[in-house]
Homo-oligomer: A and B are copies of this chain.
Amino acid sequence: MLKVVQNLGCSSGFLSQLWKKAHHNTPCGLSSIAISTNPLSNSASTRTRRRHPTTTKLDSFVFSTRGTRSERPSRVCETRSESNPDATTSPSSSSAGNVSKINFCQWCGGPTKHDIPDGEEKMRAICTVCDKIAYQNPKMVVGCLIEHDKKILLCKRNIEPSYGLWTLPAGYMEIGESAADGAIRETWEEAGADVEVESPFAQLDIPLIGQTYVIFLAKMKKPHFSPGPESSECRLFDLDDIPFDSLAFSSIFVSLNLYIDDIRSGKLKFHYGTINKRPGSSPSDMHAFSLDNHLQC
């Protein structure tokens, strides 16, 4: 049985079409979401039933929609330099997925060739001396959405990209730590806040730039925070005052929208989705992406 919840009638709200498929009593479901910049102005909703997922193109913020999958799984190879929160300290990430930039073998120093290895489908950098392949994989960015006294803790970025714009404390997960511990560490480094993770909140893949955001809901152990070197300011924002017109990254925009949507509905969920960015768009361009294949539990 397909159960559909469709929010309509909102001129500028955080509009979504939510498909909840009853399956062993799990509340998970599929939706494609079109996002605008003022989620709190969503003042009306209508519920109805539909048999199949569709996407409503609501405004200029949606550049494409994908509510269904192709018949056969296929690889998507397009990538580009990126909008990651740590770009200025992570030179390697600036070439994520661009195999042509790997010119030498990191193990033996031999020159590489760029070819599709036997039995594979994707172009790789292969060492011409030791034959090792330099695989590249998406990076995980882990962070915390911290609520305190019904306010959300945001950090103003003191580094590029998106200098001067607001973000959740987040950064690259390191080898040797869990995603939750990485999110706690990044929150300490960027916001000086000592937090404990309460629940997973969202996994948002961004295929174009080879990143996956994993956001946890967290609480401060003590009501204290102060900006670290990568932040010029940290501040608690009422949900009505979140600066949606000056957020640093699409992933943060989506996370905050989903959170507000959940708060409004009275139930926090876990969200999975794909942020499809328009190639060439800037990290903070909120007019240039769509959230596709949104699943929530």
Contact = CB atoms under 8 A, between A and B. Distances in A.
A185 interface: yes
A270 interface: yes
A90 B137 CA distance: 11
Nearest to A259: B24
Interface residues of A, number: 91
A258 to B, nearest CB: 13
A47 interface: no
Nearest to A111: B109
Contacts of A106: 102-106, 112, 125, 134
Contacts of A29: 199
Given A106-B104, A268-B25, A205 B176 contact: no
Contact of A297 (B97, B112, B200, B266): B200
Given A28-B198, A104-B108, A119-B229, A90 B176 contact: no
Number of copies: 2
Interface string A56-94: 000000000000010111111111000000000111110
Interface stretch (A6-14, A33-41, A206-214, A245-253): A206-214
A101 interface: yes
A93 B297 contact: no
By CB atoms of chain B within 10 A, which of A135, A138, A208 has the most?
A138
B297 A297 contact: yes
Contacts of A196: 69
A71 B91 CA distance: 32
A289 interface: no
B97 A176 contact: yes
Nearest to A125: B106
Interface of A: 21, 23-26, 28-30, 69, 71-79, 89-93, 95-97, 101-109, 111-112, 119-120, 122, 125, 132-140, 172-181, 184-185, 187-188, 194, 196-200, 203, 205, 207-208, 210, 212, 214, 217, 229, 262-263, 266-270, 272, 274, 293, 295, 297
23 contacts: A21-B198, A24-B262, A25-B268, A26-B199, A28-B217, A69-B196, A75-B176, A75-B177, A77-B176, A90-B135, A92-B133, A101-B107, A103-B109, A104-B104, A109-B109, A135-B172, A138-B174, A175-B207, A178-B274, A198-B295, A199-B295, A200-B272, A203-B203
